Every structure is written in structure tokens, then in C-alpha cells.
Amino acid sequence: MPNIPRLVALAAASLALAGCFSLQHAPIRKIGGEHILVSNYGWYLFHFIPLACGNANEDRVAPWVLFRDDVLMDKLQTRFMDYAHARGLETEDLVYKAKESVMFEIPGINLPLPVPYFLTYREIQLSGVLVPPEAMVEVSK
């Protein structure tokens, strides 16, 4: 019979590492705008089958989802633009970064295990500056 406490601890640890969606912002007081960073990461089986990732939905219940792929640029861009429109700000200087790891590696520990394409990791980040519409007019003059 399996050791139930170990299985529960393993399940809890895997959910803690499952994925994380975040939307972070910092004010830019000089122009009355904000710098925004939206990111999401997840774990995949054989590089294509989503196992768990951060929940990118705005009305999310849990911070992660199972068997759904939310590590997509269109989902991050939608959340970014929704945030900008809710504050009445215009976007400027958008930059994205994508990272994929086909070797099993735990984020933050740069020691990949030799198990390629079995369990892979994917992360996408989108950042940019939000400025008031009147600040964009002044810059373009």
C-alpha cells in the first residue's frame, strides 16, 4: 500500500511548482504612467501536452490550472491591454521574452537533469510602459 502522507506531500509540492501568472506594475511619477510586467510559466509533458501552468484568466479562482495552456502571448497581451484600458493609459515600448527548457530543470537552479523532452518548462514575459494619452501627444511633437 502506498504511503499516503508522501503522496500528499508530493502532490502539494507539484502544485506549488505548477505555474505562476503575475501582473506587476510600478509607477513612473514623472509622466504619470506605469511600467507593467506580465508573465506566466508552465510545465509540459513531451514539450506539447500542458500539465500545469499559471492561470491567466482575470476571474481566476486558483493561481494555476491543470491541462490547459495559458502560457501564450495572446493571453498575456490581453491581460496587459485590459489593464491599460482600465486605467485609460496608452501602451508604449512593448518588449517580450520567451524561455523554453527541454531538459528537466527547476527554475532558479541551473542544473538540468538528463531527461530531454519528458518534462519541459516554458515561460513568457511581456513588459511595457503605459502613459497618459496627453503625454504621448507631447512626446510626438
CB atoms within 10 A of CB 81: 13
Query: What is the per-residue pLDDT across 9-59, written as a single tens digit (0 to 9) for each?
Result: 655 555 555 558 899 999 999 888 999 999 999 988 888 899 889 999 888
Mean pLDDT, to the nearest integer, of 89-111? 81
Average pLDDT, the chain: 82
Residues 6+ apart with CB under 8 A from 84: 36, 90, 91, 130
Could you say which DSSP state residue 107 is in?
Answer: T
> Which of 115, 122, 129 lies closest to 52 in space, CA to CA?
122
> Which of 40, 42, 38, 45 lies closest to 24 in space, CA to CA?
38
pLDDT at 77 over 50: yes
49, 117 Cβ separation under 8 angstroms: no
Residue keyed to cell 511619477:
29
Helix, strand, coil % over all residues of the chain, rounded to 5: 25, 40, 35
CB atoms within 10 A of CB 10: 11
In the three-class reduction of DSSP (H, G, I as helix; E, B as strand; rest coil), residue 3 is classed as coil
pTM score above 0.85: no
